Amino acid sequence: MFDKVLIANRGEIAIRIMRACRELDVKSVAIYSDADKTSLYTNYADERYALGNPSPSKSYLNIDKIMDIAIESGGAEAIHPGYGFLAENSELGKQCEKNGITLIGPSGKVIESMGDKITSKKLMKKAGVPVIGGTENGVTDIDEAVKIAESIGYPVIVKASAGGGGIGMRTVYEEDELVRAIESTQSVASTNFGDSTVFIEKYIEKPRHIEFQILADDHGNTIHVADRECSIQRRHQKLIEEAPSPIMTEELREKMGESAIKAAEYINYTSAGTVEFLYSGGEYYFLEMNTRIQVEHPITEIITNIDLVKEQLKIASGKELSYSQKDVKVNGHAVECRINAENPLADFAPNPGKITGYRSPGGPGVRLDSGVYMNYSIPTFYDSMISKLITWGSNRNEAIARMKRALSEYIILGVKTTIPFHKAIMRNNHFLSGDLHTHFVDDYRKGIDDDIREIMEEETERINRMRSTFMPGKKVAAISAAVGSYLNTAKNQQIKK
């Protein structure tokens, strides 16, 4: 096992990785920008080194600076990139290789081929994994595109090959819109990714997003660690994930899991990874492969009792997987709510600032992966996720009941958060019935917003009582002050538009 690992990330995921290091008796090195001098994670590490300038490109994306720290001051044998930032950057892999440092993740070649959607789709088709019907290659000729779309049948979707995270994608319902959609997707792709290649496929309306966790070592062992349902999202940011998917059966898991393993084996994948599928009408199709540990990995850990980050460390140090496929058993159900410093009633506008009151939930079946604390100021430079609340239950209903209960215990004052949104979803009948799809939040937005307002009215008195507990010197805010402050930002947001 490694002696020392540098964590090239911040916030809750940095803490998560350091916890795995500590359990394996591996020393951890934190890096932090000027905006993270007071961040919680720096205290979890054995050593910490400053990056200076907080802008992401000058700090957590600055490969040269990070390599320097790993080699010179830190003396780390391996780097864990977490998610986001450099997680799917093949240049970091190349730099690590040059300097004799192990990158905890798959090879640079695999990251590159999965980053290109046309390439990854071709590979998956060859591997025998179901893919969505459409063009094999990039489309350049408009007449040809019209013919192809005709043969696929509308609606179709035009996608950028270099795209991801929902950027560079356009749905086309009739021939008249096709040319414009191709041109605009090409232009968006060129601006965002420096590659204007686009392709066309059949558009699947309101599918579920179901993904499979994969683990693979350097000794030819590849297993799947069950499925996650990630359909509750907004603008390609997941908000709630659960494991297993409410529609999963033993048979379907075996079939989709087999496809996920085939996908990983075909490209000689190593480390932890995720194979994403779209599921609709009893059929499933490969969508993308994520070559990193994901935000939502804890729900898989909770239902399988497998520590995915420790497995990543073991795999990277050349060990064999600790589990074979038959060891992977699904126990109960887990739900994760992403707690973001965002105002759900103001189109999820980021709401950084100081946390002036904090009480975290606990009790049976609750896990909280958090990067914050009382009096912490959430910086403006990075994403707005501050913690992940995960609950376990022996079945879906118990996991949801515990989530409802844990959300009501969770008090964060000073910044607006997505907690009220999650409370609304946890009592939404469509959610409770398990009838989920990727357009869930958009489709039920009005009802959800009304529920958020109602919940906040109901809870204002209790939250204000909490406020007087946290700030005994201060006068208790008037009833409905909390609700008022959320609504005011909502109003300002509307005026800006």
- Just list the catalytic residues: 292
DSSP 248: -
Query: Which x/- pattern over 428-467 shows residues binding ligand MV4 (rule: CB under 6 A)?
Result: ----------x-----------------------------
211 binds ligand MV4 (CB under 6 A): no
Query: For ligand MV4, which residue of 88, 116, 201, 451 counts as binding (CB under 6 A)?
Result: 201
157 binds ligand MV4 (CB under 6 A): yes
CA distances (Å), origin 84, targets 50, 292, 301: 20, 9, 20
162 binds ligand MV4 (CB under 6 A): no
Nearer to ligand MV4, 207 or 365 (CB): 207
Query: 444 is written with which tokens?
Result: 């039920």
Amino acid residing at 117: K
Give the span between the Cα atoms of 405 and 389, in whole angstroms.
Answer: 11
Give the span between the Cα atoms of 28 and 332, in whole angstroms.
Answer: 33
Nearer to ligand MV4, 97 or 283 (CB): 283
88 binds ligand MV4 (CB under 6 A): no
Instruction: Decide: residue 31, CB within 10 A, 0-12 exposed, 13-18 middle, 19+ buried.
Output: buried
Query: 344 is written with which tokens?
Result: 């759900």
129 binds ligand MV4 (CB under 6 A): no
Q: Whole-number minimum distance, CB 135 to ligand MV4, in Å? A: 12
Q: Whole-number minimum distance, CB 171 to ligand MV4, in Å? A: 8
Q: Whole-number minimum distance, CB 119 to ligand MV4, in Å? A: 15
166 binds ligand MV4 (CB under 6 A): yes
Instruction: Decide: residue 72, CB within 10 A, 0-12 exposed, 13-18 middle, 19+ buried.
Output: exposed
Q: Whole-number minimum distance, CB 13 to ligand MV4, in Å? A: 21
Instruction: Decide: residue 497, CB within 10 A, 0-12 exposed, 13-18 middle, 19+ buried.
Output: exposed
Query: For ligand MV4, which residue of 229, 241, 242, 288 counts as binding (CB under 6 A)?
Result: 288
77 binds ligand MV4 (CB under 6 A): no
Hey, how many other C-beta atoms are within 10 angstroms of the C-beta on 494?
A: 10
Residues between 337 and 396 that touch ligand MV4 (CB under 6 A): none
Q: In angstroms, how far is CA 160 from the centroid of its own chain? A: 21
- With vertex at residue 264, the alpha carbon angle to CA 258 and CA 267, rounded to the nearest 5 degrees, is 135
85 binds ligand MV4 (CB under 6 A): no
Amino acid residing at 57: S
279 binds ligand MV4 (CB under 6 A): no
Q: Whole-number minimum distance, CB 438 to ligand MV4, in Å? A: 4
Listed ranges 197-205, 347-355, 364-372, 445-453: which one lies at the site for ligand MV4 (CB under 6 A): 197-205
DSSP 73: I
* Cis geometry, peptide bond prior to residue 244 (ω within 30 degrees of 0): yes
Q: Whole-number minimum distance, CB 166 to ligand MV4, in Å? A: 4
Listed ranges 120-128, 139-147, 202-210, 353-361: which one lies at the site for ligand MV4 (CB under 6 A): 202-210
Nearer to ligand MV4, 193 or 392 (CB): 193
Query: For ligand MV4, which residue of 37, 125, 126, 236 counts as binding (CB under 6 A)?
Result: 236
Query: 459 is written with which tokens?
Result: 């809870």
CA distances (Å), origin 282, targets 159, 229, 248, 279: 24, 15, 11, 7
233 binds ligand MV4 (CB under 6 A): yes
Query: 269 is written with which tokens?
Result: 């994948």
Q: Phi and psi at residue 280, in whole multiples of 5°? A: -155, 135
Nearer to ligand MV4, 4 or 234 (CB): 234
Q: Whole-number minimum distance, CB 133 to ligand MV4, in Å? A: 9
The span from the first CA to the last CA of the chain, in angstroms, equals: 54
Q: Whole-number minimum distance, CB 131 to ligand MV4, in Å? A: 10
209 binds ligand MV4 (CB under 6 A): yes
Amino acid residing at 168: G
Binding site for ligand MV4 (CB under 6 A): 132, 157, 166, 201-204, 207, 209, 233, 236, 278, 287-288, 438
